[in-house]
Structure 1
Amino acid sequence: MTTREAQKAATRARILEAACDLLVERGYSTLTTVAVQEAAGLSRGALLHHFPTSGDLTRALVADLVARNEQAARAAAARLGPDTDPIARALSALHDAMTRPPAQAESELWAAARTDPTLATALIDAERSAGRDLFRVVDYLFGPTITAHPRYPTIRDLTITILRGTAAARVLRTSDKAVRATLADWATVITLLLTD
């Protein structure tokens, strides 16, 4: 990679990081191209060079958030180690990733899309590939033994739904005690589904 390419990549990453931070700290209503430009400390031309429209920024942001969520999940699984029960490792790593800023930013976009048709359109397009990436990550975390089971697609889909629900409810909780109990119960159900 040339110095110029490295600088372009660094500027692009800076813009996406600033957009993620704005979503987490101040919400979607503050996510304007001007606010992102100011938060990234860049000129208007620099932002528009990378993202000519807000739709371009949104699509790139979703792809970036998905990649960062995957990195967080894989890092959490690595910290737990290969000797951890695969179900517990997968649920813990996914929960850990869903409580980090990139996942919070993605949730903020989804919530805002309910009342913003332009955002909803941009997200529908971006989430098609994001959904495939999420399935790939979840499959990786559960591992080949579990993913080979005929009931695994149901387990995967319900795991994602449960984790998204617990992440959304997190803003109303003062501790993770209820979430840990929910995940422990779901781990028990998964075990039953795999052995029944």
Structure 2
Amino acid sequence: MQSRSLVTQNRILNAAVQALVEFGYAGASTVKIQELADVSRGRMLHQYPSRDELLVAAVQHLASARVDDAGAQVDWPAAPGARICAVVDAMWSTYQQDYFWAATELWIGARHNDDLRRALVPVERALNKRVRAASDAMFGVPIIDAPAYPVVRELLNTSMRGVALTYAFDRRRPSSEPDLTLWKDLALDRLLGPDCR
């Protein structure tokens, strides 16, 4: 059973992510987070004395949990081609999650906020390592042994991130994203070869 302090901490972190997603970086005030978490101001400030520290911790907390969950999945198809396609689908689904949009709000806020940028850089670097490790676990051996694998992994993540950002103003069904087929074809060709699908 979780301690009362840990339960409160999770409520505050979840409320901070919710505030970022619903109101953006500028609107995710400590007052709004406190209301969403339904905790006293003193309790929230005791755990997180700075708004930016709280927002960074919240996104890192949620993203780390989701990334670790994805990396722990074990029920992938046995055939390499089917596994690659399933992993690409799973990777793409992460860019529709709340933590992606909350992180995006922080990235944009960090452009003009040096304190936020300083707080965000080490957290993002650590999270990127976890994303790479989770991607490696999802693709698995022998796929990750392909010489092109590191480049394909990075290209998939950066391309998916860029396409996902367009959903902020052009809402559509992620499952019918035209680039999804392109990403799969690219991964299959580069990781298995055009004749080995």
- TM tier relative to shorter chain: 0.7 to 0.9
Q: 1:135 aligns with which of 129, 132, 136?
A: 132
Deviations 1:15-59 (A, max 9, x none): 011001111111110122222112211111110121122243133
Deviation at 1:135, TM superposition (A): 0.7
Q: Is the 8 A contact 1:72 1:96 kept in 2?
A: no
Greater RCO (Cα-Cα under 8 Å, separation 6 or more): 2
SS of residue paired to 1:115: coil
Aligned mates of 1:160, 1:83 — CA distance in 2: 23
**Residue 108 (1) aligns with residue 105 (2):** yes
Match of 1:125?
122
Q: 2:167 aligns with which of 161, 167, 170?
A: 170
In structure 2, relative to structure 1, the CA distance for the partners of 1:182 and 1:137 (3 Å cut) is same
Match of 1:69?
66
More displaced, 169-178 or 156-165? 169-178
In structure 2, relative to structure 1, the CA distance for the partners of 1:112 and 1:55 (3 Å cut) is closer
Aligned mates of 1:179, 1:113 — CA distance in 2: 32
Match of 2:187?
190
**Residue 33 (1) aligns with residue 30 (2):** yes
Deviation at 1:178, TM superposition (A): 8.9
Could you tell me which runs of 5 or more consecutive residues in structure 1 were left unpaired when the two chains were aligned.
none
In structure 2, relative to structure 1, the CA distance for the partners of 1:186 and 1:121 (3 Å cut) is same
Deviations 1:57-112 (A, max 9, x none): 1332232132243256459x67x853571111111111112101122111121122
The size of the alignment, in residue pairs, is: 191
More displaced, 20-29 or 96-105? 96-105
More displaced, 49-58 or 134-143? 49-58
More displaced, 66-75 or 112-121? 66-75
Q: TM-score, normalised by structure 1?
A: 0.86
Match of 2:3?
6
Percent identity of the aligned residues? 31
Q: TM-score, normalised by structure 2?
A: 0.86
SS of residue paired to 2:112: coil
Match of 1:18?
15
Aligned mates of 1:53, 1:26 — CA distance in 2: 18
SS of residue paired to 2:172: coil
Deviation at 1:140, TM superposition (A): 1.5
CA RMSD of aligned residues (A): 2.3
Aligned mates of 1:171, 1:58 — CA distance in 2: 20
Bigger proportion of residues as helix: 1
